[in-house]
A and B are shown apart, each in its own frame.
Chain A
């Protein structure tokens, strides 16, 4: 099973600043990685797939990068609605796995 490790667990950032979230895979997953945003009480929402491609309707301030085992999600010009929990997920190998999540909170 591929283990995804997200860091940090919690990130405190001020509105308007940039947040950088990391996801590390226990073995190479090429670019088969997605990022999701989850606001408390709501279902997750797809942000990024194929490591760096924004899903339909996702603002350009969200960007993904990386390949192999190291991946990054950056959120620039943070707005109030961006403070949420973010999960990475790999679809390279079965079983499909998620990271444990990074909580992005307002500083």
Chain B
């Protein structure tokens, strides 16, 4: 059974930093393409970032480009999201998800809440 478990969320002041982690199990992580997707309170879904299986190619939403960095450690079956210069509008539940062969988001984690507030 494919499982993703996010961690690292919390309360941070504007301008601060946070590092999210997502640990995978139940599938071949080193062959998998991973994304972070967020959902602000009461709002819809927003794709944030994507990384290929090797980690060589990364994409970002314009709203986070230059502030967020995605990375992965295939030996630890984990993907990370380093978030810097955080703003109030970054407040959201952050989900990690895996793209299957169909390119859609096959499996989602349960999410981790990030709150940016003074």
Give the B-binding residues of A (Cβ under 8 A).
32, 34, 36, 38, 43-46, 49-50, 53, 55, 87, 89, 91, 94-101
Q: Is the interface of B mostly helix, strand, loop or mixed?
A: strand
Ordered by A's residue number, 17 sampled pairs between the chains whose C-beta atoms are within 8 Å are: A34-B104, A34-B105, A36-B105, A43-B95, A43-B109, A43-B111, A44-B45, A50-B104, A55-B104, A87-B44, A87-B45, A89-B47, A89-B104, A95-B59, A95-B61, A96-B50, A98-B45
Q: CB < 8 Å: which of B45, B61, B108, B110 contacts A45? A: B108
- The answer on a CB contact under 8 Å between B106 and A55 is yes
Residues in chain A near residue B35, CB distance under 8 A: 96
Q: CB < 8 Å: which of B44, B50, B100 contacts A98? A: B44
Q: Which residue of A lies closest to B46 (CB)?
A: A98
Supply 15 further A-B pairs (C-beta < 8 A) apart from A50-B104, A95-B60.
A34-B102, A34-B105, A38-B45, A43-B95, A43-B109, A45-B108, A46-B104, A46-B106, A49-B104, A53-B102, A91-B103, A95-B59, A96-B47, A98-B45, A100-B44
Residues in chain B near residue A99, CB distance under 8 A: 44
- The answer on a CB contact under 8 Å between A89 and B103 is no
Residues in chain B near residue A94, CB distance under 8 A: 59
- The answer on a CB contact under 8 Å between A97 and B47 is yes
Interface members, chain B 30-62 (any A CB < 8 Å): 35, 44-47, 50, 59-62
Bound: A101/B42 CA distance, A: 11
Residues in chain A near residue B60, CB distance under 8 A: 95
Given contacts A43-B95, A95-B62, A96-B50, contact A89 B44 (CB under 8 A): no
